[in-house]
């Protein structure tokens, strides 16, 4: 068997309070496309950062051609023939395409940079990506994001690297651009380059990879030949449960009316957004929980933002209580009592430097307008009521949110949105990163809200939560709706897994 070109052997990477990688051993072979798979926080990006010299291992070693090497900076990594394309495009937007591609590798003559040679070399790299018609003198900020991504890839190709790391390279690409990229990836593989491919798109992983390593919670779950692991098994490895065990989950489910009466409170009629989510139809009824299921990259957050008018739909119509929503943005949705609680409670969520009281009242005050301040009495009654009802803890309203646990912070965020008395409440990963007791408390509160007549959209990566709470389960993959399940005795976690893993759309 061919020896690995690059190898992580027993690598541990530690940050304060967490081990991002734990005793990880991964082999990358020449002439192969090796996919890294796992949920958020699994350790994929940490592997990439170790290989690029950004994160230094606390223990273990990195080997190149069987010899231990020290990757203590991105420059050291590049000097050893390791090139990287990160998910976030790291380019100079005011520079030309040619300047970006050749940055750090500019050809020089007697009087400085040889601009003609620079543009010629850049054009050669663009031609490899099927962009021979792109003028290398064009400023980068004049290009669309997909073309900018291809320019970033062209820059990585300079110097004929031996290892190419692609961290979510297709996240902003259209299908035609993905096919163009995959053509180049196959050329690199066939020339003996080791390609590391990080992606959440299952179909793309199966289309391009030869080998898959699954990571979970900073540990390597296993290494598999792509042809030897099917989609259902791969998903179960990523989620941390065997496929047989998944079949036993979801037996406990709250008693709730399965067929809501009356008209829908929200109708999403063929709403969608180019490059973010394929146009789809969805109705929400009062007293109903609709759960969105799918892996990262499936479009759950994108659909949530469209349902709450946070992002403008480029097609169809969004109706609340029969009336169209004509504006977009967080304020527009809030005025129609459409509320989105975001996945990241630190970005767009709680403000840790503010008190519990200020955090809870923020959305209500913003909705009323700062010219109509909430009275001191209403503020006190509202905050104290939610602290008690949601079980935020033995705290004072003046307590800074940054001093609270993750579970308590999540409850403060939930209180903020409930204070606005929403018609539709969309919760994006409300139980992520919190302890079991807090998870159960939030799940019970969500069920109670639905029992009181609120329409709830619930997003969770934990499929047992999806099955336990959802009256209906909408299954997403690759930024489109692929199926919808009416929950009941015949629906369990494996039902959802099988639908996600299916080759053919069942929508």
The 10s digit of each residue's pLDDT in 371-425 is 888 888 999 999 998 888 888 877 888 899 888 877 788 888 888 988 888 889 9
* Judgement on whether residues 60 and 101 belong to the same structural domain of the protein: yes
The answer to whether position 48 is within a domain reads yes
Please give the share of the chain, as a percent, with pLDDT higher than 70. 90
**Domain residue limits at 100:** 6-243
The answer to whether 165 touches 135, Cβ cutoff 8 Å, is no
Q: What is the mean pLDDT of residues 277-300?
A: 91
* Judgement on whether residues 253 and 231 belong to the same structural domain of the protein: no
Spacing of C-alpha 229 from chain mean position = 23
The answer to whether 463 touches 493, Cβ cutoff 8 Å, is yes
The CATH number of whichever domain residue 314 belongs to comes to 3.40.50.300
Number of domains into which the chain is organized:
3
Task: Go through 362-381 and write b for each residue having 16 or more CB atoms within 10 A of its CB, e for each that does not.
Answer: bbbbebeeeeeeeeeeebee
Q: Comparing 74-83, 313-322, 323-332, 431-440, which segment has the lowest mean pLDDT?
A: 431-440
The answer to whether position 481 is within a domain reads yes
Most confident residue range from 6-10, 241-245, 285-289, 503-507: 6-10
State the pTM of this model.
0.59
Report which DSSP code applies to 446: H
CB atoms within 10 A of CB 450: 24
Give me the torsion for CA of 483, 458, 321, 374, rounded to 10°.
Answer: -160
The answer to whether position 1 is within a domain reads no
DSSP bridge pairs for 317: 269
The answer to whether 288 touches 471, Cβ cutoff 8 Å, is yes
Residue at a domain's end among 213, 243, 273: 243
Nearest C-alpha neighbor of 2 from the set 211, 159, 196: 211
Q: How far is 382 from 391, CA to CA, in rounded Å?
A: 14
* Judgement on whether residues 226 and 301 belong to the same structural domain of the protein: no
Residue 313 has pLDDT above 50, yes or no: yes
Spacing of C-alpha 429 from chain mean position = 11
Please give the share of the chain, as a percent, with pLDDT higher than 90. 44
Q: How confident is the model at residue 53 (pLDDT cuts 50, 70, 90)?
A: very high
Q: How far is 185 from 154, CA to CA, in rounded Å?
A: 12
Q: What is the mean pLDDT of residues 123-129?
A: 89
The answer to whether position 451 is within a domain reads yes
Q: How far is 198 from 46, CA to CA, in rounded Å?
A: 11
The answer to whether 390 touches 441, Cβ cutoff 8 Å, is yes
Q: How far is 233 from 203, CA to CA, in rounded Å?
A: 14
Residue 424: the pLDDT is 92
Residue 74 has pLDDT above 50, yes or no: yes
Residue 162: the pLDDT is 95
The answer to whether position 115 is within a domain reads yes
Residue 39 has pLDDT above 90, yes or no: no
* Judgement on whether residues 101 and 19 belong to the same structural domain of the protein: yes
Q: How confident is the model at residue 245 (pLDDT cuts 50, 70, 90)?
A: very low
Lookup: tokens for 42: 């699994």
The answer to whether position 295 is within a domain reads yes
At 215, is the secondary structure helix, strand, or coil? strand
Lookup: tokens for 62: 């990195």
Q: How confident is the model at residue 202 (pLDDT cuts 50, 70, 90)?
A: confident
Give, in order, the Cα–Cα distances in Å from 495 to each of 215, 241, 244, 259, 429.
24, 14, 12, 20, 21
Q: How far is 35 from 25, CA to CA, in rounded Å?
A: 15
What mean pLDDT, rounded, does the chain reach?
86
Residue 503 or residue 488, greater confidence: 488
* Judgement on whether residues 231 and 115 belong to the same structural domain of the protein: yes
Nearest C-alpha neighbor of 26 from the set 1, 51, 52, 58: 51
Residue 507 has pLDDT above 50, yes or no: no
Residue 418: the pLDDT is 87
Report which DSSP code applies to 38: -
Residue 250 has pLDDT above 50, yes or no: no
Q: How confident is the model at residue 503 (pLDDT cuts 50, 70, 90)?
A: very low
Residue 271 or residue 176, greater confidence: 271
Beta strand pairing status for 424-428 and 338-341?
parallel
* Judgement on whether residues 54 and 148 belong to the same structural domain of the protein: yes
Q: How far is 404 from 204, CA to CA, in rounded Å?
A: 40
* Judgement on whether residues 267 and 354 belong to the same structural domain of the protein: no
Residue at a domain's end among 421, 453, 473: 421
CB atoms within 10 A of CB 433: 16
Query: Which residues, including other chains, have CB under 8 Å from residue 157's CB and lie 6 or more apart?
Result: 83, 125, 128, 164, 184
* Judgement on whether residues 191 and 63 belong to the same structural domain of the protein: yes
* Judgement on whether residues 249 and 157 belong to the same structural domain of the protein: no
* Judgement on whether residues 494 and 349 belong to the same structural domain of the protein: no
Residues 177-192 have pLDDT tens digits of 788 889 889 989 999 9
* Judgement on whether residues 62 and 208 belong to the same structural domain of the protein: yes
The answer to whether 25 touches 62, Cβ cutoff 8 Å, is no
Q: Comparing 34-43, 84-93, 230-239, 296-305, which segment has the lowest mean pLDDT?
A: 84-93
The answer to whether position 362 is within a domain reads yes
The answer to whether 61 touches 128, Cβ cutoff 8 Å, is no
Residue 413 burial by CB count (10 A; 0-12/13-18/19+): exposed, middle or buried?
A: buried
CB atoms within 10 A of CB 226: 18
Residue 438: the pLDDT is 67
Residues 426-459 have pLDDT tens digits of 999 888 766 555 677 778 888 888 888 899 999 9
Residue 244 has pLDDT above 70, yes or no: no
Residue 506: the pLDDT is 45
Give me the torsion for CA of 415, 420, 423, 427, rounded to 10°.
Answer: -40
Residue 33: the pLDDT is 98
* Judgement on whether residues 359 and 468 belong to the same structural domain of the protein: no
Q: How far is 323 from 415, CA to CA, in rounded Å?
A: 27
The answer to whether position 122 is within a domain reads yes
The answer to whether 314 touches 274, Cβ cutoff 8 Å, is yes
CB atoms within 10 A of CB 161: 20
Residue 120 has pLDDT above 90, yes or no: yes
Residue at a domain's end among 217, 243, 269: 243
């Amino acid at each position: 068997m061919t020896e690995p070109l690059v190898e992580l052997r027993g690598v541990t990477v530690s940050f304060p309070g967490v081990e991002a990688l734990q005793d990880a051993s991964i082999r990358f072979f020449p002439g192969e496309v090796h996919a890294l798979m796992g949920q958020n926080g699994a350790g994929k990006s940490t592997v990439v950062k170790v290989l690029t010299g950004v994160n230094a291992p606390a223990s273990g070693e990195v080997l190149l051609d069987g010899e231990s090497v020290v990757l203590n900076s991105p420059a050291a990594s590049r000097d050893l023939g390791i090139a990287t394309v990160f998910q976030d495009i790291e380019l100079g937007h005011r520079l030309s395409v040619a300047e970006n591609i050749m940055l750090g590798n500019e050809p020089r003559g007697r009087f400085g940079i040889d601009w003609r040679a620079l543009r010629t070399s850049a054009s050669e790299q663009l031609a490899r990506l099927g962009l021979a018609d792109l003028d290398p003198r064009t400023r980068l900020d004049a290009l669309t994001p997909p073309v900018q991504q291809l320019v970033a890839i062209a820059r990585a190709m300079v110097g004929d690297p031996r290892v190419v790391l692609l961290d979510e390279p297709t996240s902003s690409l259209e299908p035609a651009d993905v096919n163009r990229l995959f053509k180049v990836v196959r050329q690199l593989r066939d020339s003996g380059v080791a390609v590391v491919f990080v992606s959440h798109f299952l179909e793309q992983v199966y289309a391009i990879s030869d080998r898959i390593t699954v990571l979970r919670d900073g540990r390597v779950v296993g290494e598999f030949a792509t042809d030897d692991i099917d989609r259902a098994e791969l998903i179960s490895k990523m989620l941390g449960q065997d496929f047989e065990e998944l079949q036993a989950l979801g037996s406990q489910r709250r008693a709730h009316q399965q067929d809501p009466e009356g008209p829908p409170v929200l109708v999403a009629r063929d709403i969608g957004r180019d490059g973010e989510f394929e146009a789809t139809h969805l109705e929400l009824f009062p007293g109903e929980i609709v759960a969105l299921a799918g892996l990262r990259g499936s479009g759950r957050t994108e659909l949530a933002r469209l349902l709450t008018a946070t992002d403008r739909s480029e097609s169809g119509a969004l109706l609340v209580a029969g009336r169209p929503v004509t504006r977009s943005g967080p304020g527009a949705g809030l005025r129609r009592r459409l509320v989105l609680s975001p996945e990241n409670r630190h970005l767009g969520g709680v403000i840790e430097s503010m008190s519990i009281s200020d955090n809870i009242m923020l959305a209500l005050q913003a909705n009323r307008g700062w010219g109509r301040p909430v009275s001191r009495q209403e503020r006190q009654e509202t905050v104290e009521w939610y602290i008690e009802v949601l079980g935020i803890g033995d705290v004072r309203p003046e307590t800074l949110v940054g001093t609270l646990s993750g579970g308590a912070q999540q409850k403060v965020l939930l209180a903020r949105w409930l204070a606005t008395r929403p018609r539709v409440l969309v919760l994006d990963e409300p139980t992520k990163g919190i302890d079991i007791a807090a998870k159960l408390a939030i799940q019970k509160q969500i069920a109670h809200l639905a029992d009181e007549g609120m329409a709830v959209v619930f997003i969770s990566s934990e499929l047992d939560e999806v099955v336990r709470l959802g009256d209906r389960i909408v299954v997403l993959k690759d930024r489109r709706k692929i199926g919808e399940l009416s929950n009941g005795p015949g629906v369990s976690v494996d039902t959802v897994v099988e639908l996600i893993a299916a080759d053919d759309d069942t929508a």
